[in-house]
Amino acid sequence: MQGTVLLVARKRLQDTSAYRDELVEEVRQEVAHQIETMVGLNQSTKGKGRTENLFEDADLQMAGYAAALRVLTGYRRIDGQDMVAAALRPRPKGERDIVREIIDYAVQVANEHLVPEGIAPDVWERCCSAERFYLKMMERWSWKR
């Protein structure tokens, strides 16, 4: 087994609602906090004789996904839509709903925080997706050497 995912279910104590535009910033902050915490753990263990990361990019992307779900599940209604009913209804394959859109956004935010070592964050922000992919592969290649 490569990893473990723990899911903690808590009863929502309030009947809360939000609109998508309000959630975007909350999701961005939660994902950024989660990624920064995990990257910090990676960096702190490297100074203690460990050469490889505790968390790889896929772990960090999943953490971004989980952070977004932590925000989303705190609300009973989003854009006036009951989230329990939305979660339980059958969906045609490929249908995009508000939850899928926010999760995709969270993954994008997580990817923005996966800056390779030695690359300045402002340079990373200006890179297109192909350039980011190339730089990430170069970073991975340098780890194996």
Alpha helices in the chain (DSSP H): 20-46, 57-72, 83-88, 98-112, 121-126, 129-144
At 134 the pLDDT is 85
pLDDT class for 25, splitting at 50, 70, 90?
very high
Asked if the model's pLDDT at residue 24 lies above 50, the reply is yes
**CA–CA separation, 112 and 123 (whole Å):** 11
Please give the torsion angle defined by the CA atoms of residues 46, 108, 121 and 55, in that order, rounded to the nearest 10 degrees: 0
- CA distances to 39, 77, 112, 116, 132 from 128, rounded to whole Å, are 22, 35, 11, 14, 6
Of residues 70 and 114, more confidently modeled: 70
Contact yes or no for 30/68 (Cβ under 8 A): yes
At 84 the pLDDT is 83
What three-state secondary structure class fits 9? coil
- Closest among 55, 41, 19, 35 to 108, alpha carbons compared: 35
Of residues 51 and 55, more confidently modeled: 55
The sign of the torsion formed by the CA atoms of 79, 81, 82, 86 equals negative
At 39 the pLDDT is 79
User: pLDDT tens across 66-99, in order?
Assistant: 888 888 888 999 999 888 888 888 888 888 888 8
